[in-house]
Structure 1
């Protein structure tokens, strides 16, 4: 069984405006200055506690309150008219192409199960994914547990598994799990940073993904 695992934010969906807005609200709720936009985007992919620790410090006593404030802000934003976490161009087509070839698909994300299921249901893609691994189920990236659990869920071997993501956390997680890594250039970490994490390939558009996958599996 071949398995392709996608990150969510920054890889499948563009949620940067929502993430930044909720992060700003979380800090403001405690009367603290919000981090720079670039700093917020740099931690996308981590679970919330690890993300706030990276933006503040690991021993910051406000982290549990910041986490809860962020969750509340995110839920409130989702209720607003015009809320959108759009798919990146070509994402739907590649997901459907892979699903049509009986390749197992998974998601590994710092989002919660509830959050990722809401957004995938909104886009009509939830049933395309055989396994969804989140911050609710495993240690934060780059720990390999999400990938290891996804492989176990569908019966895939490391040599038949590929992780696709936009951050160094995704690339490092893939290496830790012993699977191939494809970096995407349209997400929240710069291509130069991704290259330092040694992806097996770096793509600039979704239309490149099928050919890269074929090459990896031939090799």
Structure 2
């Protein structure tokens, strides 16, 4: 594809190495509330979805009140350990700054809440790197493509001028729904076999490989 003018990143598992911390926080929330502890693979599979949907899938037999308590306990565990247990992938900051130096527009489309994304943007100092960020609680959960449509409308870019980069099948399905070019990363939450059916242009194994594929 021609060098994209607008590059849209997922956050967890794509720019930030947070999948293991998300899994641990979900499991700790279940322990706190004496709920069946979901397997790590099941927790990894729901990364990328809006949190209420993720909890509903992981705890289908819990009632609404228990699911809300699970959401609260998950958030508490995640925030409590976020600075120690999550950080940017090596090379992510350098990639973003290189793209900015080329006058590319950068955006984020994430399953995080607005409060959650703003917190990690402040922790990493990356808030000013992105022209727009969209979260699941102010749009629609992936794989609905609404977040991408909103980003395109804000930037004035066409679908063919943009690319979506993500580590989950939800990221790639969201982009595929709009026929937006998409790149998968294998170092995040979902295995390569879950990414391939969504026809990414390429699947990369390291952040450093993204630069060459975006040039």
TM over 0.5: yes
For the Cα contact (< 8 Å) 2:19–2:188, is it kept in 1? no
Residue number in structure 2 paired with 1:156: 157
Counterparts of 1:74 and 1:208 in 2: how far apart (Å)? Answer: 29
Cα 1:84–1:126, aligned 2, differ >3 Å: closer, same or farther? farther
Matched, 1:169 2:170: yes
Gaps of 5+ in 1: 215-219
Residue number in structure 1 paired with 2:210: 209
Runs of 4+ in structure 1 deviating by more than 4 angstroms, as ranges, are: none
RMSD, aligned CA: 1.8
Following superposition, the deviation at residue 189 of structure 1 comes to: 0.5
Matched, 1:65 2:63: no
Residue number in structure 2 paired with 1:182: 183
Cα 1:59–1:179, aligned 2, differ >3 Å: closer, same or farther? farther
SS at match of 1:83: helix
Q: Which moved more, 1:60-69 or 1:161-170?
A: 60-69
TM-score normalised to the size of structure 2?
A: 0.91
Residue number in structure 2 paired with 1:18: 21
Residue number in structure 1 paired with 2:45: 42
Counterparts of 2:81 and 2:208 in 1: how far apart (Å)? Answer: 31
The residue correspondences of 1:99-138 to structure 2 (distance < 5 A) are: 99-138=100-139
Counterparts of 1:125 and 1:63 in 2: how far apart (Å)? Answer: 32
2:80 to 51, 59, 76: 76
For the Cα contact (< 8 Å) 2:17–2:86, is it kept in 1? yes
Number of aligned pairs?
211
Following superposition, the deviation at residue 124 of structure 1 comes to: 2.1
Counterparts of 1:173 and 1:117 in 2: how far apart (Å)? Answer: 22
Following superposition, the deviation at residue 58 of structure 1 comes to: 8.2
Following superposition, the deviation at residue 210 of structure 1 comes to: 2.7
Residue number in structure 2 paired with 1:217: none
Following superposition, the deviation at residue 17 of structure 1 comes to: 2.9
Following superposition, the deviation at residue 43 of structure 1 comes to: 0.7
Counterparts of 2:52 and 2:188 in 1: how far apart (Å)? Answer: 21
Following superposition, the deviation at residue 59 of structure 1 comes to: 7.7
TM-score normalised to the size of structure 1?
A: 0.89
Higher helix share: 2
